[in-house]
Amino acid sequence: MTLKTLTPLELFISFSKIGLSGFGGVLPWARLTLVERDKILTSEEFSAILGICQIAPGPNIMNLAVCVGARFCGAKGALTAALGLCLGPICIVLLLAFLYDHYGHIEAIKGILRGISAVGVGLIASTGFKMLRDEFRYPAMFLVVIVTLIAVVYFHLGLGTVVLIATPLALLLAWKKAQTL
């Protein structure tokens, strides 16, 4: 596959769209923008980069912006993608903080905020299902999903422990998957 070329400005605009599309969880918008709308990454590339970003320290979405930006434009791309992701939302959050400070005690405002959090949960679940759909191409990877779910849901293990348990299996299966391509 030929690597698409992007300018730092194009990265800034794409990540600004992502950053301004949601609060408290822009991962669904990141996938929609990068994979489906702008076609900057394939679905498989997005999942692979996100997997790396999830085990790196820091916010997943910021790690994703830095990785994608660096991939296309080096350090300048990493910086512009990260700025695009953050600049607009920082301004909006400061405005919302000011408004919440003055009107947060109103019961209707509290109800609106509860509804917004339910929407966020639905968006994250939707993205998870879209990413899971990609794994149907190699069903053995469901073993990693099952091990992860058991570790989290049944044993209540933390992220670090789950990563240590699931990573060797995921690497082995990914290696086998790469051998079949």
Instruction: Give helix 8-21 / helix 60-103 axis angle, nearest 10°.
Output: 50
| pLDDT of the residue at 84 | 95
Q: What local confidence, expressed as pLDDT, does residue 134 receive?
A: 74
Contact by Cβ (8 Å): 16, 115:
no
**Is the residue at 2 inside a domain?**
no
Residues 109 and 157 in one domain: no
Nearest to 39 by CA among 87, 3, 77: 3
- Are both 132 and 142 inside the same structural domain? no
Task: State the average pLDDT over residues 143-167.
Answer: 91
* Average pLDDT over every residue of 102-118: 85
- Percentage of the chain modeled with pLDDT above 90: 45
Count CB neighbours of 47 within 10 A. 17
Decide if 86 contacts 20 (C-beta within 8 A): no
Q: What is the pLDDT of residue 3?
A: 60
Q: What is the token pair recorded at 71?
A: 């991939």
pLDDT of residue 175 exceeding 90:
no
> Are residues 87 and 151 located together in one domain of the fold?
no
Q: What is the pLDDT of residue 113?
A: 80
- Residue 124 domain-assigned? yes
> Are 91 and 156 in a shared domain?
no
Question: Are 179 and 128 in a shared domain?
Answer: no
8-25 average pLDDT score: 87
Same domain, 146 and 132: no
Q: pLDDT band for position 2 (50/70/90)?
A: very low
The residue type found at 158 is: G
- Which range of residues forms the domain containing residue 169? 138-181
The answer to whether residue 68 is domain-embedded is yes
For residue 124, name the pLDDT band (cuts at 50, 70, 90). Answer: confident
For the chain, what is the domain count?
2
User: Residue 4: helix, strand or coil by DSSP?
Assistant: coil
Report whether pLDDT(1) > 80: no
Q: Are residues 53 and 94 in the same domain?
A: yes
